[in-house]
Amino acid sequence: MLSNIYIIVHDARKFFHENIINILMLSIFSALISVAIQKFFSINITELLILYNNHYYKSLPLKKIIMDMQLDQKKIVFYMKYINIICIIFSHAFLCTSIKYLIKSFPLSFLKKSSYIIMKTLKYFFLLMPIIWLKLTLIEIGSNFFIIFNLIVHILFSLSPIICLIEKKNILDSLHNSLIISWKYIYVITPAVLFGLMVKSLMIVIFKTIFIFPTYINFFISDVILNIGFIYVTIYLFRLYHFFKIKNIIQ
């Protein structure tokens, strides 16, 4: 089993490198849409900069920062978090669907591949939004308990969007199947999930300590990097799920 996992990791890395241009384009496009959503629905830029400089990037725990805020400031933070969740749902649904069709379009030329991916993604990505929203809700509930519980929720439901896309199952069946498969093979799924969380944590640390660009440029750069990391993990999970199917591990 471990030798097969090594092959899957190698295959995912090779596929990632061979399609780096398409992956970069998808990451940039998704980041642009996310920034546009944040800018269109966001608060007044002056209020945003006050939070951005004085609170969000202090080297204190986020809960402590929020507790020290005034009521109006808390409302701003929760509104921003709501908009951020919308951006994450859109981004993950768009990128996950794009990767499915990027894998399927492997034999095509660059131009045909790009048009095929865009057309298919725009047609189907919204179908993933409900399950990603529910997955994020479960993760958010988990974050209110212990870090380890939050991590377990991340791991157990990591395959749910992929199952929903490939098997065309409903939300509950996708979550249920992801729970069973991920629990049974937690040792091969955990490293990928940890890698994605480490990239996210690293971006938070970097943009807490380095404030070089204007606010939305910082958002854009961090989103692009996070999208690339998310795509890499998603490619691995797609390959892993196909491996399970080939080996008849999935009934």
DSSP state of 108: S
Q: Where are the domains of the chain?
A: 2-246
pLDDT in tens, 23-34: 999 999 999 998
- Could you tell me the pTM of the whole model? 0.82
Residues comprising the chain, all counted? 251
DSSP state of 128: G
pLDDT in tens, 166-224: 888 888 899 999 999 889 888 889 888 898 888 888 887 777 666 666 677 888 888 99
pLDDT in tens, 100-149: 888 888 776 767 777 888 888 888 888 889 999 988 888 777 666 667 78
Q: How far apart are CA 183 and CA 155, in angstroms?
A: 8
Q: At 80, phi and psi to the nearest 5?
A: -60, -40
Q: How far apart are CA 146 and CA 105, in angstroms?
A: 41
Per-residue pLDDT at 142: 66
Q: CA dist 251 to 114, 165, 173, 242, 248, Å? A: 34, 17, 13, 13, 7
